[in-house]
Structure formats: C-alpha cells, structure tokens
C-alpha cells in the first residue's frame, strides 16, 4: 500500500508474466480496440443516417453496439497504458470506478438483449399490435431502464466498497472487475446481500425473460407458415448468438474471479481478455452480416468508399 494525501493505491498483479511480450500485447490489443471502435461505430452510424432503420429493432441494435464501445473504452485505454508502463498502479477509487462502469455496462447489455427479445416477441407473436405497443415512448423507456437500473445497482456496491477496510493491495487481474472484493478484509453483509440481488436483477431474471420470449417465438413460428418461420430465424438468430455468448462470458467472469485455479498467470490473462474481446468485436459482424437491411447499407457504404478511392476524393 502507498498512501499520499489519504489516497490508497493498488497494483494490478499481471504485468510480471507478460513483461517480455508487452509490446506485442500492446500492438494486438490496440488493433483489436480500433477494430471494435470502427466496426461498432459504422453500424451505429448507418442506423443513425438511414430513416428506414429508425425502427425499434435497429434502435436497440444501435444501443447495444454503442454500449459495446463504452464497455471497451472503460477497459482498453487503461490496459494499453499498462502495457507500456513499468508498474501497473492505480488508485483504489479509480479501480472502483472501472469496476462500476464495467458491470453497469455489462448489466445494461443483458437488459438491452431482453428489450430486443421483447421487440421480436411482439413483432412475431402479436404483429397486429406491434405499432401500438412498440411506440417511441416504449423504446425510450426501455433504453433508460436498461442503463438506469444497472447503474443504480452497481452504484450501491461501489459506494459500499469505498467504506470497506482493505487487507490486500494487489488486484489479481488485468483490470478491476469483481476481483476488487478480494482486497477487502471482510465482505460486508450489505455487499453480500445486495450482490445477490444485483445478480438476480442484472443477469438471471433478464436472461430467463429472454429464454421465455424466444421459446414463445419459436412455438408460434413452428405453428405458422414457412415465411414466418424464415422471418423469425433471420431476426432472432443474431440475438440468440449474442445472448449465448453473453451467458458464457458472464459465467466465465464470475468463475474466474471467485475460483482459484492452479494454472499459469499468463493463461489466466489470455482467458480473461476474452471477456472484453469477443463480444464487442463480433457483435457488429453478427448484426451486419445477418440483418439484411444493415447488410444492404454496408454494401452501399463499401461501394461509395471504393468509388471515392478510385476518383481520389
């Protein structure tokens, strides 16, 4: 511990194992970060400028991809600076802020997937009522709830953690996730109880809701004509892929922080990096290639870019 002016410093205990390869890791992670920013921002831009994409389904996709940009920006800049630094030291308050943003945006993603699932449920199971139910007000409230509920839950845990007494000052990870709890001498009852509530509200209940809605969608689609089954597959498959990966990474994040496994630290680092790589990187490709309207506009943007290069604009 180092205290100056009542500021507590903590160390990210990961750099020793990769010190020899830190410039390689920096180049790889910097490239991935740029790809994440460009790919997600491109889809959001297309949805923003094309009026035919100003529908609830595409607005939720844009919100999800914007959430991915914020999610990675919370982790990557500090991570990249760490690769170039001799010591990975940060203040405990900055660590808690990263922890707060990491799980706020992670929880928001699950809620956004739940909102997207409900939108598809109404579109396929109640098509005649779709315009009445999925109004602009409904979409706006859904987006506000997705970010507000998650933020309020995590604010309680972050504020409670600021009052906790610390017995360790080395975070076992590459960024401040729920490994910050291992720094505390004793986890308070508030953090324990509210942690369970947060787990239910931000992960389990939204996921159960998504499973329920997609079950209803597939039942209705199976009983309907071939065209409806095709529509359901085209619109729901991307959401299902993202949901499955979200569940996998959620379980992985919980287990990697709580279960002490006997394997090299480098392997743990590489495995932990998957949490902030695969999902934000592959989401825009999943939606860009699987959603016909977005793919059409992507091809148009590509054609304009090629033309621009040829004529030297």
Q: Domains of the chain: which residue ranges?
A: 3-311
Q: What's the CA gap between 156 and 90, in Å, rounded?
A: 22
pLDDT at position 261: 53
DSSP strand E in 16-175: where?
A: 89-91, 170-171
pLDDT at position 262: 55
pLDDT at position 2: 46
pLDDT at position 5: 46
- Domain at 3-311, CATH class: mainly alpha
Q: What's the CA gap between 173 and 258, in Å, rounded?
A: 12
Residue 113 CB: number of other CB atoms within 10 A? 23
Question: Do residues 85 and 11 touch, judged by C-beta distance below 8 A?
Answer: no
Per-residue pLDDT of the chain (313 residues; tens, 9 = 90+): 444 445 678 787 766 566 677 788 889 889 999 999 999 999 999 899 988 888 998 999 999 999 999 999 999 998 888 888 777 788 888 889 999 999 999 889 889 989 988 998 898 888 889 999 999 999 999 999 999 999 999 999 999 888 888 887 888 777 888 878 888 888 788 888 888 888 888 888 888 898 888 888 888 877 777 766 676 666 677 777 777 777 777 766 766 655 555 556 666 666 677 778 888 888 888 777 667 777 787 777 777 767 776 676 6
pLDDT at position 70: 94
Query: Taking the mean position of all CA atoms in its chain, how far away is CA 243?
Result: 11
Q: What's the CA gap between 265 and 34, in Å, rounded?
A: 26
Query: Taking the mean position of all CA atoms in its chain, how far away is CA 123?
Result: 25
Question: Do residues 294 and 58 touch, judged by C-beta distance below 8 A?
Answer: yes
Q: What's the CA gap between 216 and 96, in Å, rounded?
A: 40
pLDDT at position 25: 82
Is the pTM here over 0.75, yes or no?
Answer: yes
Task: List C-alpha distances in Å: 297 to 43, 53, 97, 109, 303.
Answer: 9, 10, 38, 25, 10
pLDDT at position 152: 92
Task: List C-alpha distances in Å: 289 to 90, 234, 235, 294.
Answer: 40, 11, 12, 8
The helix (run of H) or strand (run of E) holding residue 11 is strand 7-12
């Amino acid at each position: 511990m180092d205290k100056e002016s009542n500021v507590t410093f903590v160390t990210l205990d990961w750099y020793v194992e990769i010190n020899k390869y830190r410039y390689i890791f920096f180049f790889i992670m910097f490239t991935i970060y740029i790809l994440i920013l460009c790919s997600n921002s491109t889809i959001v831009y297309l949805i923003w400028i094309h009026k035919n994409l100003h529908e609830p389904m595409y607005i939720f996709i844009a919100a999800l991809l914007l959430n991915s940009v914020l999610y990675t920006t919370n982790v990557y800049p500090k991570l990249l600076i760490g690769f170039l630094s001799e010591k990975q030291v940060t203040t405990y308050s900055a660590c808690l802020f990263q922890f707060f943003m990491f799980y706020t945006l992670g929880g928001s993603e699950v809620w956004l997937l739940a909102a997207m699932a409900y939108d598809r449920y109404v579109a396929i199971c109640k098509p005649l009522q779709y315009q009445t139910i999925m109004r602009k007000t409904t979409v706006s409230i859904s987006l506000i709830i997705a970010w507000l509920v998650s933020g309020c839950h995590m604010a309680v845990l972050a504020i409670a953690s600021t009052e906790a007494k610390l017995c360790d000052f080395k975070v076992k990870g590459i960024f401040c996730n729920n490994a910050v709890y291992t720094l505390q001498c004793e986890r308070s009852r508030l953090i324990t109880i509210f942690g369970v509530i947060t787990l239910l509200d931000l992960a389990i209940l939204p996921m159960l809701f998504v499973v329920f809605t997609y079950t209803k969608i597939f039942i209705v689609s199976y009983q309907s004509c071939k065209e409806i089954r095709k529509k359901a597959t085209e619109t729901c498959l991307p959401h299902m892929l993202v949901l499955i990966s979200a569940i996998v990474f959620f379980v992985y994040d919980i287990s990697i922080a709580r279960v002490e496994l006997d394997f090299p630290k480098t392997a743990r680092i590489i495995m932990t990096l998957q949490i902030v790589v695969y999902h934000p990187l592959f989401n825009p490709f999943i939606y860009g290639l699987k959603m016909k309207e977005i793919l059409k506009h992507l091809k148009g943007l590509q054609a304009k870019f090629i033309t621009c290069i040829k004529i030297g604009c």
